[in-house]
Every structure is written in C-alpha cells, then in structure tokens.
Amino acid sequence: MPRPLALLATLVVCASPLLAQEPTKTTFVVYGNVGYVRNVSHFETPIPGINQNGAAGSLRFMWQPGHLLSAGFEVGSTRVYSVEQPMTDGSTLDATLNAVPILAVFSMSPWQRLHLNLGTGFAISKSSVSSLGNDASASGFGYAFMASAGYLVPVGTRFGMGGEVKFLRMNQYDDNNLSFNLALSYRVK
C-alpha cells in the first residue's frame, strides 16, 4: 500500500469515533460589568488629595465551544485615580488618570455558574490636568493583565445576572486596580 494511502486510512480509522459523538453546541455570550473600583497600588511618596476610588465598566465577548475553555476579548473603561489639591493662590489642581483596557480573554467554568477569567493585552491611559484656568491632557500605551472570578445565576434561557471580582494590572504607571462589579450576561446563540 502506498504511503499516502496508508496515512489516509490511518486518519480515517482514528477519526471515526469522532463521527459518533454528539455535536457540541457552540455559543456566543456577551458579558457586561459595571461597578466600584479601587486603586490598590502602593505610592512610595504620599500624594495629598488623592482619591483611589472610582467606577469601572467593561464589555466581554466570549466564544464558548462547548468545552471547558472559552476565548474572547474585552474592552472597558476604568478610573485609576484622581487628585484634587489646593494651590497657594486659592485655586485647585484637578488631575485624573483613566484607562481603557483592551484584552484577549480566556475563561473556564470549573463549577456550574462560576467563571474564572485571565486576560492579557494593552491599556490606553489618558491623564488630564486642570489648574489656573489651563487644561492639559496626555495619552499613553502599555501592557495590561486581568484576572477575575464571576458568579452568574441564570435568569431565563438567555440571560444571567451576578457579580464579578476583577484585578487589573497596568504596567505603564505600575497601577493595580481591584473592582467589584455587577455582571450581566446574554447568550446570543
């Protein structure tokens, strides 16, 4: 028997059990998160007037092929911190740092309703400062890493509702955010 024909016969024999399996149901799920975020970074020099609290939100689009591991991407917006300091002339200095993380996400559900997520990608940081009637802003780009755990309870056949705890690391300014979010999901297909 010629070698290519033997290889084809071996492939057919090995793949035949796959034809007897039930087809897996591929689904697409959209997750939305919104909630409270806290910058948990340590600043070597204390910053007067810093506010490390804020709001965060994200949208996650996931492909679930019917296996343990799912893949997708996430885009969001988060407050990193803001600063309000009084100036010597009586005016105030207002500064904010926000970030837009864009991540490739991998997820698994080791138990029913629990989702563990890891994401890597980049974050676009935007800082803005306002003082003495002048405004300035700057943008930056850096690596980002995300790890989260979410618990979702089904609400009907397509919707889910629950919560998620998320850690986001942005290396441009060495910032670490921890957020507590309300999570909603919609099963598209």
- pLDDT for res 105: 96
Report the half-sphere exposure of 141 (CA within 13 A, side-chain side): 2
Which whole number is the average pLDDT over 116-130? 95
Integer Cα distance of 163 and 153 in angstroms: 9
| 66-117 tens-digit pLDDT | 778 899 999 999 999 999 998 888 788 999 999 999 999 999 998 889 999 9
- pLDDT for res 26: 85
| Residues 127 and 94 sit within 8 Å (Cβ to Cβ) | no
- pLDDT for res 19: 52
- pLDDT for res 139: 94
* Residue 18: φ, ψ to 5°: -65, -30
Domains identified in the chain, total number: 1
Integer Cα distance of 4 and 117 in angstroms: 43
Query: How far lies 77's CA from each of 21, 32, 46, 71, 165, in Å?
Result: 42, 12, 25, 20, 15
Q: Residue 14 falls within a domain, yes or no?
A: no
Integer Cα distance of 42 and 32 in angstroms: 29
Q: Residue 13 falls within a domain, yes or no?
A: no
Q: Residue 11 falls within a domain, yes or no?
A: no
Q: Residue 15 falls within a domain, yes or no?
A: no
| Residues 112 and 153 sit within 8 Å (Cβ to Cβ) | no
- pLDDT for res 84: 92
CA angle 109, 112, 146 (to 5 degrees): 30
| Residues 100 and 81 sit within 8 Å (Cβ to Cβ) | no
Integer Cα distance of 28 and 158 in angstroms: 11
Q: Residue 4 falls within a domain, yes or no?
A: no
| pLDDT tier at 11, thresholds 50, 70, 90 | low
- pLDDT for res 1: 56
Report the half-sphere exposure of 19 (CA within 13 A, side-chain side): 6
- Cβ–Cβ contacts within 10 Å for residue 54, how many? 19
| pLDDT tier at 138, thresholds 50, 70, 90 | very high
Task: Using the predicted structure, report yes or no on whether residue 180 has a pLDDT greater than 70.
Answer: yes
Q: Residue 8 falls within a domain, yes or no?
A: no
Is the pTM for the entire model greater than 0.85? Answer: no
Handedness of CA 182, 186, 187, 189 (dihedral sign): negative
Q: Residue 32 falls within a domain, yes or no?
A: yes
Task: Using the predicted structure, report yes or no on whether residue 9 has a pLDDT greater than 90.
Answer: no
Structural domain of residue 61, as residue ranges?
23-187
Which whole number is the average pLDDT over 148-164? 95
For the domain that residue 158 is a member of, what is the CATH number?
2.40.160.20
| 20-64 tens-digit pLDDT | 545 567 889 999 999 999 999 888 888 888 999 999 999 999 998
* Residue 17: φ, ψ to 5°: -65, -25
Q: Residue 128 falls within a domain, yes or no?
A: yes
